[in-house]
């Protein structure tokens, strides 16, 4: 048997246990001043942008309204515009910081659609690179994320000025 040594993963596993408890991790990030701990890239009056703690790829962002709502129909026109604008700016941020070849952008509404957090609407912005899918998911049923989340966050923060003017 091959052993994959990844001691830094324990913090990730412990956090996952906490997240399965009561509350909404997006609301916790909105209410907290611990931006690095919550992997927040941008926090405004109406929008929060944060790294996904369980990413599909390096740079996988979650873009959400700061108000706890589950569906687009619950957003005001201003919140809806701010969410759409933040998704657009997140694409710009990722282009500047990580130079991906493309993106997946999407929303999972409801558990059956794949939502890990059903109660707080959020948009996934996932950068993609040519060749970012390799044999690991097929052979080992494992996805390799080649960079620590806090390192990715530091790269993104160098270009966070793209959000200037967004509320």
User: Can you list the domains of the chain with their CATH numbers?
Assistant: 9-163 (3.30.428.10)
Q: Let me know if 68 is a catalytic residue.
A: no
pLDDT for 87-128, tens place per residue? Answer: 999 999 999 999 999 999 999 988 887 778 888 999 999 999
Q: Record the pTM.
A: 0.83
Q: Which residues contact 38 (CB under 8 A, 6 or more apart)?
A: 25, 28, 29, 32, 50
The band of 135, judged by pLDDT with boundaries at 50, 70 and 90, is low
The band of 1, judged by pLDDT with boundaries at 50, 70 and 90, is low
Of 60, 120, 122, 124, the catalytic one is: 122
Beta-bridged to residue 137, according to DSSP, are none
Residue 70 has pLDDT above 90, yes or no: yes
pLDDT for 14-26, tens place per residue? Answer: 555 545 556 799 9
Give whichever of 55-59, 83-87, 114-118, 133-137 has the largest mean pLDDT.
83-87
* Tokens describing residue 65: 């309204």
**Which pLDDT score is estimated for 132?**
72
Q: What are phi and psi of 54, to 5 degrees?
A: -125, 70
């Amino acid at each position: 048997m091959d052993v994959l040594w990844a001691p830094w993963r324990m913090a990730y596993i412990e956090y996952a246990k906490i997240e399965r408890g009561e509350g909404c991790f997006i609301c916790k990030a909105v209410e907290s001043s611990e931006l690095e701990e919550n992997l927040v890239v941008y926090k405004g009056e109406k929008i929060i942008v944060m790294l996904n703690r369980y990413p599909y790829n390096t740079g996988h962002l979650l873009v959400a309204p700061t108000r706890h709502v589950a569906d687009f129909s619950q957003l005001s026109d201003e919140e809806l515009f701010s969410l759409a604008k933040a998704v657009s700016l997140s694409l710009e941020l990722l282009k500047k910081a990580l130079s991906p070849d493309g993106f997946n952008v999407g929303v999972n509404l409801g558990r059956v659609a794949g939502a890990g957090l059903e109660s707080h609407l959020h948009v996934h912005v996932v950068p993609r690179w040519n060749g970012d899918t390799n044999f690991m998911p097929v052979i080992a049923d494992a996805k390799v994320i080649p960079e620590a989340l806090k390192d990715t966050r530091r790269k993104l923060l160098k270009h966070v000025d793209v959000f200037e003017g967004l509320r």
